[in-house]
Amino acid sequence: MTDDQQPESASPDSPESHGGLTRRQLLAGGAVLGLSATAAGSILTSDALAGGPRGGEHCPPGQTDFPSLGYPMPGDMRPDAPELAARGPFHVGVRGFTVTNPGQIDMANYSGTGEAGTYDRPLPLQVWYPAIRHGHEPELTAYHDTLGSGPASAATRPIIPFEFPGRALRDAKPDASAGPYPLLIVSHGYPGSNVLLTNITENIASKGYVVVAINHTDSTHADATTFASTLRNRMLDDNFVLQTMANLGKSWKSFLKGMVDADKTAILGYSMGGYGAVLAAGAGLSTSGFLSWAPAYWNAGPYLNSLAAGSTDYGALLDPRIKAVVLAGPWGGTYGTWDATGLAGIKVPMLCIVGDQDQTATYPGVQIIFNGAVHSDRYMLIHQQGDHEVIANPAPPITFTRWREYVHYQEPALDNTRTNNVNQHFVTAFLDQTFKGKDYSTAANDYLNPIHENSNDSNNYSVKPYGTPWKGFPVWSAVGLELRHQKPQGS
């Protein structure tokens, strides 16, 4: 990204560029954009509640600042949320802009034979960061997304734009007082978007991180196309965005000047984003397994070979600035994508988040990744009876009459607000332990070292020591979870 590509202060998502969000416009336009009256009302009511210096943002466990009307915004806390789910000390700003990676292989227009063409690959980004809020300006925004799964599926899953609310201040002035901050790169699933996980992106930014989420071209709700593009590009996109953010953190023309510590980078990957994060963490593709059949099956030709474990090309792609990965339902474990040698290449700390009923990445597939990463100090958070969507935002109201879109977000047996709160708690503990010198895994019953691996045992008075709930969980609330920890082999 060159200096002349620096984002303008008013991005396409900024209030200035769409005329601002007045109360009348928000309510009147909500139905057209898919923002229901209750969702629009939640913004307006939260605005009214935000009279205090931190009003409408977070509350201690056991209390609530949910809007009095409407539904909770993605990332809001239930009254029984665990301790570290609370927003941190920083206000949160957000900006959207697009960067371009030149000369990339055009997988979307490749037939699987011969030589592929190249193109300049656009990557729309959303960046959340510690920010300065003036007075009682409400820390609220509207995010833009679409329903659907790309043009080829439009007959059954129409591409419909919509908006939903968030708790960040669009184009706010950065707060560099405690910077530079560790960097978290967020990579969505197939299909997905850079605002699919605002429940976690806003939350982590409020705790002193710069968070950047990518719209992976050819893999979003609006433009999803050939799967081969996703297979090739995920790690490459992550690497390019890491370098871009490092450059922005050093450029005097950038709003991120002095804000980004790219030497402390983590990747949070969901589903196919998890596949890319596993690659970026050090596990190259298996030549005897995945690469023996997948390129032909998905018309990828020779363009996955550069990701092969042990190859010179793959080794050159590994970025030592990546110090940790969070894998939410990572895809690939059951397809022979990585073998034991490949997974042993992961040496950075790892947190896996998975539902034990995951039907997409599959729970056994995630276990293969977790068990195989023998040189990683790794944790696995298991949501019992959870499916693939435990990390996703709660389903937006526009999906309530569209079953296929609803299940793209909503857990069938669990409450997404609850799973989001649990994830916020453990991702915070994991990242703070990795980057901020905290130790949550040594003392008995600390955040990452519960006495009982299965949380249900902490509420079972026939199991001793009884009456010792997981740290940070209100009494009776540590239910339906497991947390496993494996230290690196030989440690």
The pLDDT tens digits along the chain (491 residues) read 433 334 433 333 433 333 344 433 433 344 333 444 334 444 433 332 333 333 333 434 333 343 333 457 999 999 999 999 999 999 999 999 999 999 999 999 999 999 999 999 999 999 999 999 988 888 999 999 999 999 999 999 999 999 999 999 999 999 999 999 999 999 999 999 999 999 999 999 999 999 999 999 999 999 999 999 999 999 999 999 999 999 999 999 999 999 999 999 999 999 999 999 999 999 999 999 999 999 999 999 999 999 999 999 999 999 999 999 999 999 999 999 999 999 999 999 999 999 999 999 999 999 999 999 999 999 999 999 999 999 999 999 999 999 999 999 999 999 999 999 999 999 999 999 999 999 999 988 899 999 889 999 887 766 666 666 899 999 889 999 999 999 999 87
pLDDT given for residue 49 in this prediction: 32
Under a CB-based contact definition with an 8 Å cutoff, are residues 277 and 268 in contact? yes
Q: 182 CB contacts (<8 Å, ≥6 apart)?
A: 208, 209, 210, 261, 264, 265, 266, 431, 435, 436
**C-alpha distances in angstroms, 463 versus 2, 381, 382, 460, 478?**
60, 21, 20, 6, 15
Identity of the residue numbered 258: G
Under a CB-based contact definition with an 8 Å cutoff, are residues 186 and 274 in contact? no
pLDDT given for residue 189 in this prediction: 98
Length of the chain, please?
491
Q: Residue 35: exposed, middle, or buried by beta-carbon count in 10 A (0-12, 13-18, 19+)?
A: buried
Q: From the centroid of its chain, how far is CA 194?
A: 8
Q: 281 CB contacts (<8 Å, ≥6 apart)?
A: 267, 322, 325, 346, 348, 350, 376
Residues 339 and 290: their CA atoms lie apart, in Å, by: 9
Residues 106 and 367: their CA atoms lie apart, in Å, by: 33
pLDDT given for residue 476 in this prediction: 83
Q: Looking at the structure, give the CATH architecture of the domain made up of residues 3-23+89-417.
A: 3-Layer(aba) Sandwich (3.40)
Residues 99 and 239: their CA atoms lie apart, in Å, by: 13
Identity of the residue numbered 187: S
**Backbone torsion region of residue 174, taken as left when φ is above 0, otherwise alpha when ψ lies between -120 and 50, otherwise beta:** beta
